[in-house]
Structure formats: structure tokens, C-alpha cells
Amino acid sequence: MKRSGGVFDLAADQKRLAEIEKELSKPGAWDDPKALTPILQEKGRLEEEVARLTQLKTCRDDLEEWLVLAGEAEDPEALESLAEQQAALERQLEETEIVMLLSGENDGRGALLEIHPGAGGTESQDWGEMLLRMYGRWAAAHNYKMEELDYQPGDEAGLKRVTVRISGPHAYGLLKGERGTHRLIRISPFDASGRRHTSFTAVDVIPDVGDDIQIDIKESDLRIDIFHSSGPGGQSVNTTSSAVRITHLPTGVVVQCQNERSRLHNQEGAMRVLRARLYAMEQDKRDKERQDAYDSKTAIDFGSQIRTYTLQPFRLITDHRTGNKYTDVDAILDGGIDHLQHDYLLYCHEQKH
């Protein structure tokens, strides 16, 4: 079945689903649930595609019926329904196009998203919190699950860093375009003089590979530190030594998790992030262009931003990669970033061709 960059084949999807159902119904098929993970993930993806294509076909058929009715009767209500059906079909086509643009091998996976405020002190830490809220609203709108793995609050407001796991189909593929430095220009609520401030926050996104990818991590290469969780906590989260920080000595990669009361669960969460980060580093080595993009965000300051959010003296969001400008600032900061993602994926597709 051709999918990304090609066409969806409903018949082929349905045939493959029938084959999977037959495999899962065989005696002993569920004896090793862990071994079934890949085929269950394929089943879920195919069911999603079949549902999308079926809905697209239904929407098209309804539009054709309303075209006939509107042409015969010239009824205002029929014309109104025709316009509504046309808008619905356009939305369906845009969603389908987005999925077709997700051509990377990891685009179907969940995502691990990290936010690191840079230059700007409290102002940029507050900006980091605003971005976390934006991604949280976006995830909720898509019925994705977002789980905090590590969160360090800012000194006065906002956050110093956060790592979240976003689970859902194509979460990584949709969010990968958020990787880079985000610049905010506004009148600072923390400045009594009401001056305009510029803040920078880096966002990193890597695929959540879970246990699907085998990464050789030697125990002797790890330094594991246990410490008290930071932040408001609650339910003894920050009163016991349950937070875990793991340093991978050969690469210097440091990850930590402190959202659980159990040290064991935090260590499992940290190892999950470490596996994903080491996997991403290996992917980077095979893709110099992506490596250059990753290196470019080491300086979280002027000239490194991928997107600028201007709230003063005018309201405008500019994506410096696609060159597109957006005026629906409030909607975007409230999680409405789908059209930005679509524009970025389309831009990447055009650049490849």
C-alpha cells in the first residue's frame, strides 16, 4: 500500500486488516502480548486510515447529492447545505493531505517534547509556560494524551525546563516542525515600566520509540542520581528521594524524570527518554541536514529562531522557514497550530521535490 507521497488504497487497507484479524484469532496468538505490539500498532494505523477514507468518501457522496438538489430546486436551504458540505469536504481533504505528507519512518509515533527557556530570565521562563499550554491545548484537541515526565518551575513564574510525552497517532510527525527556537516580542507583565521585551525558548521534539527500538545501553555507562523532586509536588512527590537523573557517560546525554512517587517508575521513565534520545542521535548521524538543524538551536538567542510571535506593537506570527505570516495569534497560542503544521509539512515536501 502506498501512503505517504502516493495514494491511499482503501481496498488494500481493508484486505490487510482482514489478514491481521485472522492472525490475531489463531489459537495461542495472544500468548505473548509484547510480541504483538508491532502488529497491533499496524492494526490501529490501518483502522484509522480506513475510517478516514470512508468518511472522506461519504463526505464526497453527500456533496454530489447536494449538488444535484441545489441544481434542480435552487432552494436557499439546499445551497446553504451545499456550502456546509463543501467546507466539510475541504477539511477532510486537508487532514488527508497532512497524513500523506507524513513520510518519515517515525512520523506515526508518539513524541517526546522538551521546552528549555533561554535568554530573557523570568520573561522567557513565562514564555516557556505559554508554549507548554499551547501544546497541551493542541494535544487535547486531538485527543492525545500528554504526560509530564520532568518539570522544573521558574524562580518567579513559568518554567526552567519541562519534558512531556505526547501519545497519539502521528504526534511526532505533526510536532517535528516545532523543533527550534521560538521568539516572543511583547510588553512584559513583569516589567513595571511597561517596556517591550524579546524572549527566546527552545523546543526539541524526538520520536517516542518506547521498547520498539533496541538500543544497546550498558549499565556501566550510566550514572544514576536520586534526588528530591522540585516544584509544588503533592502526595509526597517532593518530600521523598524519588526523582531520577541518568547520565549516559559516553555521550554526556542527561535525562531525568520526577513525575511519579515511585523511584522505580521514574527510572523507567528516564530510561525511556534516554533510549529515545540516543536513537534520535543515531538518526541525526545518518541525516546531516537534521543534525545541522539540531545544532542550530544550541544558541537560544537572536538569529536562531524558527518562529517569531509578535504581540506588540502589532499582532503577528511569522514562520521564518516557510515565510508565512499569521494574524490569528490568540487562536494559535490557544493550541490552534494545525495550519502552521500543514504549511510546514507542505514546505518540506516541496523542498524535497
**Domain of residue 41, residue span:** 10-101
Q: Is residue 96 part of a domain?
A: yes
The predicted structure's pLDDT at residue 3: 42
> At residue 241, what is the residue type?
S
Quick check: is 110 in a domain? no
Per the structure, the count of domains in the chain is 1
Kindly tell me if the per-residue pLDDT of 74 is higher than 70. Answer: no
pLDDT of residue 73: 64
Q: Is residue 270 part of a domain?
A: no
Nearest partner of 212 among 104, 353, 105, 55, judged by Cα: 105
Average pLDDT over residues 328-333: 97
More confident residue, 16 or 287: 16
Say if 23 falls within a structural domain: yes
At 143, the pLDDT band (50, 70, 90 cuts) reads very high
**pLDDT computed for residue 298 by the predictor:** 46
How many other C-beta atoms lie within 10 A of the C-beta of residue 282?
12
Whether 285 maps to a domain, the answer reads no
pLDDT value at residue 8: 62
If you write DSSP's letter for every residue of 31-74 in order, what string do you get? SSGGGGHHHHHHHHHHHHHHHHHHHHHHHHHHHHHHHHHHHHH-
Q: Which of 196, 188, 184 is nearest to 127 (CA)?
A: 184
Strand blocks (E) in 222-313: 222-227, 243-248, 253-257, 305-310
Q: For 88-126, what is each residue's pLDDT tens digit?
A: 778 778 777 787 788 788 898 899 999 999 877 889 999
Helix (H, G, I), strand (E, B) or coil at 111: strand
Answer yes or no: is 19 within a domain: yes
State the pLDDT confidence band at 76, using cuts at 50, 70 and 90.
Answer: confident
The partner residues of 208 in beta bridges, in order of sequence, read 110
Instruction: Report residue 165: phi and psi, to 5°.
Output: -105, 125
Q: Is residue 142 part of a domain?
A: no
Count other C-beta atoms under 10 Å from residue 280's C-beta.
19
Report phi then psi at 187, rounded to 5.
Answer: -75, 120
Q: Is the pLDDT of residue 170 over 70?
A: yes
At 286 the pLDDT is: 65
Q: Kindly give, in sequence order, each residue whose CB lies less than 8 Å from that of residue 92, ignoring residues fewer than 6 positions away.
A: 52, 55, 56, 59
Confidence of residue 178 (pLDDT cuts 50, 70, 90): very high
More confident residue, 231 or 139: 139
Produce one character per residue of 113-131: b if its CB has 16 or more CB atoms within 10 Å, e if not. Answer: bbbbbbbbbbbbbbbbbbb
Look at 164-168, 212-216, 264-268 and tell me which has the smallest mean pLDDT: 212-216
| Residue 291: pLDDT over 50 | no
Instruction: Write out pLDDT tens, residues 56-72.
Output: 888 788 777 777 777 76
Instruction: Find, among 176, 149, 179, the residue nearest to 273 by Cα.
Output: 149
The reported pLDDT for the residue numbered 128 is 96
Q: Residue 49 is part of a domain; what is its CATH number?
A: 1.20.58.410
What is the percent of the chain with per-residue pLDDT over 70, rounded to a whole number?
A: 86
pLDDT interval class at 43 (50, 70, 90): confident
- For Cα atoms 109, 170, 184, give the angle at the middle one, nearest 5 degrees: 105
DSSP 246: E
| pLDDT of the residue at 211 | 65
Is the CA virtual torsion 332, 338, 339, 344 positive or negative? positive
pTM score above 0.85: no
Q: Do strands 325-326 and 316-319 pair parallel, antiparallel, or not at all (unpaired)?
A: antiparallel
In a domain, 229, yes or no: no
